[in-house]
Structure 1
Amino acid sequence: MAEEIRPLLQQVMNEYLMAKRDPIAGHMMGSLVRNSLVSAFGRLNFIPNDRYEIKGSVGQGNWAAVPWLAIMNKDITTSTQRGYYIVYLFSEDMERLYLTLAQGVTESSRNEMARINEEIRSNLNIDPDISTDNGIELGSSTLAKKYELSAAAYILYEKELPSEETLQHDLERMINYYEQYIALSLGKIEITEEEETGKSLSLKDTVDHAYQYIKGKGFYFEETEVINLILSLKTKPFVILSGISGTGKTKIVQWFAESIGATEDNNQFTLIPVRPDWNDGSDLLGYTDIKGDFKEGPLAKVIMRAFNNPNKPYIVLLDEMNLARVEYYFSDILSVMESRTWKGGGITTSNLLTEEIAGVNLPLPSNVYIVGTVNMDETTHPFSKKVLDRANTIEFDRIQLGHLDFLYEEVQKKDPVKLNQEVLEANYLHLKDVFAEYPDLVRRVTEELVKINDVLQLIHAQVGYRVRDEICMYLAYNQQEALMDFNQAFDHCLLQKILPRIVGSDSRVSEVLNRLLEICAFEIPEDVDSTVDLTYVKYPSSTEKLLEMRRRLVDGFTSFWIS
């Protein structure tokens, strides 16, 4: 392949710093960038001259700290001050060259640039070797920093440029993505409503599909476990999965997300490993560096995508969530989550990221669902009541190594079904919303909780209005689709919203456990609790957990958690 662009780009990198020592007027470097490079790129057969305009610059009157060469579709812009286009950006020290899909920084606000960047990153299936982060490093000047923010996608070249063939191939790919986004933004691509927003299924059909999909993957989960996970997420977009390592906590979330079309490939599923040294929200949301630039954290990236794609569900898995103290790094998110309210026919919250810090005001979108996996051992931290109040805590401690029947079953593998946000989105935020449709349900739940609270007040562990309201919402969603009977559904709520609050070592804890056993089942003497049949008790799962907690109290201390 004849060399058209590589020698000229390399010449700029090799000679630009030396050229800056001389006056800019009439310098050959200006002619090289404005004329020679422009002509060379214009001769490339994949850049149609009738539709594209190419411009290069080394500055006007003074040398530019970051010289550039822009390739612009005339339908979008003919000025680098506005619109979006392809641009080569040279770093100030001439050690790096970036091929970027970027935007004009002069007439574009920071919010607008962030919106378009996220739109490009979310809607185009960009090759993995093309970066879509904010990792460009052009230099320290004000303009360099603005250029860095403007890039939605880029390819980095070091000082010694790759071959002509590689450079042209990369540019052709970038032009293809540029054209795809133009077509998308101008409405030239016909996208069916289902492709754009996902398919709608009822809650029951979603449960059936997810259960069969997970089963087809060769994993053994009971259907009620899938039902409980989905109901919990719909009730509150924050769920904790606890249990010993290896019981499938991560897998059930990953396969559920995949079953509804949320994967790492399309950025709708994100796994974030928690580090023990996290001590504030900056580790998740981002921080402002010493230069005053906001460096977005992993959760901030998800929030931006979700905000720009409100019809798609985004699932975040915080792995080993309690390796660090959850109250330290997650408190901002918990507080904002509690500010959910109805506005304009949808759900909104207070701002989680503000323009002063992140350059844009962002609430917590209602289509972001956060699941944390936790182990309870000597390396982890316990949860405060503040956290437990705000989550459904689902325990995975069922271990049946001898159960191999599912391996012999002929299970038809299910394909994922890309679902829209509607299936998981909350229909209720306040108790009055539930009461308007299910008054008898609310009264029945409240009667049960009043009895339970009378017992819990002995150790000052009674539940408040938030827990009552969320249990009513959970049971309302359950009743809508007749997924479980009342006692089975309430049993889940009791197990994951109330029992985790019980902890202690004195006689009052023992009395609380015994009195709760009478509510959940009947009086069970301690000397026969390991042989009693729980099949027909009112709340079997909660009864089993209460018996386990009572046995541990013999050693002087008990809690919900296995440690």
Structure 2
Amino acid sequence: MDSVFRGQLIKIMNEYLGAKKDAFGGHHLGSFVRNEVPKEISEFSFIPNNQFVITGSVGQGNWAAIPWIAIMNKNVTVSTQRGYYIVYLFSEDMDWLYLTFAQGVTETSKEEMVKVKEEIRESITMDNKVRKDEKIFLGNSSKAKQYVFSTAAYIEYDIKNIPAEEVLVTDLKNMVSYYEEYITFKNKQYVLNELEEPVVIKEEDNSYLTSSNLVDQIHSYITSKGFYYSKEEVINLFLSLKTKPFVILSGISGTGKTKMVQWFAESLGATEENGQFNLIPIRPDWNDGSELLGYVDIKGDFKEGPLTRIIKNANESPRLLYFVLLDEMNLARVEYYFSDILSVMESRQWQNGKIVTSNLLSKEMTGDSLKIPSNLYIIGTVNMDETTHPFSKKVLDRANTIEFNRVELGNLSFLDDIEEVTPIAVLNERLSSKFLHLKDVYQTHPEIVIKTTEGLEKINKSLQLMNAHIGYRVRDEICFYLAYNEDDQLMKYEDALDHCILQKILPRITGSDSRVEQMLTELYRIFTNKEFVEGSDSFESDLETAIYPYSAKKVLEMLRRLKEDGFTSFWIS
């Protein structure tokens, strides 16, 4: 075996202290640790690329006292700030290298670190060379001591006696196997301790089920129920829910939006019978959150709303999927009855490796503070007609708005003898968010962040004509969507970005003056690389060769409506 990996580790230990005397920005050793070493590790056969994130760091803005290279299972964490993972830690004096089974120190409490550390040491049998003590020494800095405290197990290497490549690779393979064994232990522990009836398929028995397989399962299940939706539409809903657990489905009445959500949830084991799927019809007279969340009556007693009861159930079973369908969401003004939920949803942050929010309802009001759980997915269906209310930018900024206007009455394949598809109940890890901040994405997908930001800046220049340009929240969530897509290889990058533009940017556009026409004309040029010429017979060919065909088609519809009626909007077809 070539000693490439061994040489890389030795190079870091030999050169790092000298590099720290140089300017940080653009230093070749930084690129080497961030790119070259992770790339080499990713080539090992026991590190499947679709399951692991490998990243290295020498600091952010300044040289770190302790550089590191982390190997993370994406089902556990994609950030070294939280969760548990395998990480190479270099001592401050560069005399020692440690291969560790450690935890994120930034967003994990000491109590949680102690608990996980003890579980790893007691539940996983490891080779004798793996040490499970507190004698690891990285240096005297506070960060060094934090890393030591987070470490559950480690193998140490002296720079004067770095073992052969074969030994280093075998050690890493073994440590990864212990990591995977602990992940399995945690899943078994949950199933045994939390579920009265084991209705959820355990992840260790379901390892074959990649995200691509899961999307196939959802699509097949929906098709078997007699509803025709393309696989790409299912992928889009899947990615949108992973990006943020709030999605709006819009379209004309009768296109099956409600059933789409119900069958999507049911295909994953969430049904009305087991309480994991709930439909809440919205009433036109709702003008605050009390009908949805609850209120304090004249006696001072709290009367729970339907969503509060669901949230409590979801909090009690944090690894099960819970879906709420807000049917005909815009019969009342969404900003009136949903405002508190939207605001609290934006407060999501990592705490002890879990996503938590601010309080939705106070302890004084309900007897127990209520937060929005990370396993709750809210989907609203809307019809746009004279009986409904338009959405504010506050709502549109916080949701992916997916349009379902396509109807194919001639598709009668469901009348054939289609084989029944059995639901596969999965745990929340399959759908939950891994990214909450842009820096999380940049750490693992820097090329996506850079490429996407450049593209969105071009679009924003056109949107600024009407002050419709997007802000950081929309940019970040588009990057999340594209990173999830890249991880699972579900769509081409351009197709995925096309969906994002269509459902995160274009719904903001409305108006009647010449600036709207100028803006839409410029967007048409960006999306198709062709100039918009009124009355042209080349629109069809423009759309066929467009970079973003869905978005280009919608812009064309909006331009035609502007010409015909003197007013246009995303919501008018």
TM-score, structure 1 length as denominator?
A: 0.65
Query: How big is each residue's C-alpha offset from its partner over 1:246-274, in whole Å with a ceiling of 9 and x where there is no partner?
Result: 11111110000000000000000000000
Between the aligned partners of 1:328 and 1:342, the Cα distance in structure 2 is 28
1:212 corresponds to which residue? 220
- Amino acid of the residue matched to residue 559 of structure 2? R
Q: 1:456 aligns with which of 463, 466, 474?
A: 463
1:549 corresponds to which residue? 558
Between the aligned partners of 1:525 and 1:189, the Cα distance in structure 2 is 62
- Amino acid of the residue matched to residue 468 of structure 1? R
Between the aligned partners of 2:443 and 2:237, the Cα distance in structure 1 is 25
Q: Give secondary structure in 2 for the equivalent of 1:416.
A: coil
2:164 corresponds to which residue? none
**1:195 to partner: Cα distance:** 5.5
After superposition, residues 328-407 of structure 1 pair within 5 angstroms as 328-404=336-412, 406-407=413-414
1:520 corresponds to which residue? 527
Q: 1:293 aligns with which of 285, 301, 307?
A: 301
Between the aligned partners of 2:440 and 2:326, the Cα distance in structure 1 is 31
Q: Does 1:561 align with 2:561?
A: no
**1:191 to partner: Cα distance:** 5.7
Q: Does 1:255 align with 2:288?
A: no
Q: 2:278 aligns with which of 254, 257, 270?
A: 270
Between the aligned partners of 1:315 and 1:349, the Cα distance in structure 2 is 18
Between the aligned partners of 1:456 and 1:526, the Cα distance in structure 2 is 21
**1:399 to partner: Cα distance:** 1.9
Contact 1:199–1:420 (CA<8 Å) still a contact in 2?
no
- Amino acid of the residue matched to residue 322 of structure 2? Y
Higher-Rg structure is 1
Q: 2:544 aligns with which of 510, 535, 538?
A: 535
1:435 corresponds to which residue? 442
Between the aligned partners of 2:436 and 2:198, the Cα distance in structure 1 is 31
Query: How big is each residue's C-alpha offset from its partner over 1:490-525, in whole Å with a ceiling of 9 and x where there is no partner?
Result: 000000000001000000000000000000002131
After superposition, residues 466-505 of structure 1 pair within 5 angstroms as 466-505=473-512
Contact 2:397–2:474 (CA<8 Å) still a contact in 1?
yes
Query: How big is each residue's C-alpha offset from its partner over 1:316-375, in whole Å with a ceiling of 9 and x where there is no partner?
Result: 000000000000000000000000000001100001111111111111000000000000
Q: Does 1:509 align with 2:519?
A: no
Q: Give secondary structure in 2 for the equivalent of 1:399.
A: coil
Between the aligned partners of 1:489 and 1:189, the Cα distance in structure 2 is 37
1:224 corresponds to which residue? 232
Between the aligned partners of 2:453 and 2:270, the Cα distance in structure 1 is 36
**1:531 to partner: Cα distance:** 4.9
Query: How big is each residue's C-alpha offset from its partner over 1:99-122, in whole Å with a ceiling of 9 and x where there is no partner?
Result: xxxxxxxxxxxxxxxxxxxxxxxx
**1:205 to partner: Cα distance:** 1.8
**1:194 to partner: Cα distance:** 4.5
Between the aligned partners of 2:488 and 2:372, the Cα distance in structure 1 is 28
- Amino acid of the residue matched to residue 567 of structure 2? F
**1:528 to partner: Cα distance:** 2.3
Q: Does 1:417 align with 2:427?
A: no
**1:189 to partner: Cα distance:** 9.3
- Amino acid of the residue matched to residue 572 of structure 2? I
Contact 2:293–2:308 (CA<8 Å) still a contact in 1?
yes
- Amino acid of the residue matched to residue 546 of structure 1? V
Change over 3 Å in CA distance of 1:542–1:189 after alignment to 2: closer
Q: Give secondary structure in 1 for the equivalent of 2:544.
A: coil
- Amino acid of the residue matched to residue 548 of structure 1? E
User: Percent identity of the aligned residues?
Assistant: 62
Q: 1:236 aligns with which of 241, 244, 250?
A: 244
Contact 1:243–1:562 (CA<8 Å) still a contact in 2?
no
Contact 1:288–1:294 (CA<8 Å) still a contact in 2?
yes
- Amino acid of the residue matched to residue 558 of structure 1? T
Change over 3 Å in CA distance of 1:530–1:315 after alignment to 2: farther
Q: Does 1:309 align with 2:317?
A: yes
**1:202 to partner: Cα distance:** 2.7
1:115 corresponds to which residue? none
Between the aligned partners of 1:189 and 1:484, the Cα distance in structure 2 is 35
Contact 2:224–2:414 (CA<8 Å) still a contact in 1?
no
- Amino acid of the residue matched to residue 342 of structure 1? W
Give the unaligned 5+ runs of structure 1.
1-183
1:444 corresponds to which residue? 451
Change over 3 Å in CA distance of 1:418–1:193 after alignment to 2: closer
Equivalenced residue count is 379
Between the aligned partners of 2:464 and 2:442, the Cα distance in structure 1 is 26
C-alpha RMSD of the superposition: 2.2
- Amino acid of the residue matched to residue 431 of structure 2? L
Between the aligned partners of 1:243 and 1:427, the Cα distance in structure 2 is 30
Between the aligned partners of 2:225 and 2:503, the Cα distance in structure 1 is 27
Between the aligned partners of 1:453 and 1:344, the Cα distance in structure 2 is 37
Q: Give secondary structure in 2 for the equivalent of 1:272.
A: strand
Between the aligned partners of 1:186 and 1:348, the Cα distance in structure 2 is 24
Q: Give secondary structure in 2 for the equivalent of 1:393.
A: strand
Q: Give secondary structure in 2 for the equivalent of 1:220.
A: coil
Between the aligned partners of 1:322 and 1:478, the Cα distance in structure 2 is 30
Between the aligned partners of 1:398 and 1:328, the Cα distance in structure 2 is 31
After superposition, residues 81-230 of structure 1 pair within 5 angstroms as 194=200, 201-230=209-238
Between the aligned partners of 2:372 and 2:495, the Cα distance in structure 1 is 32
TM-score, structure 2 length as denominator?
A: 0.64
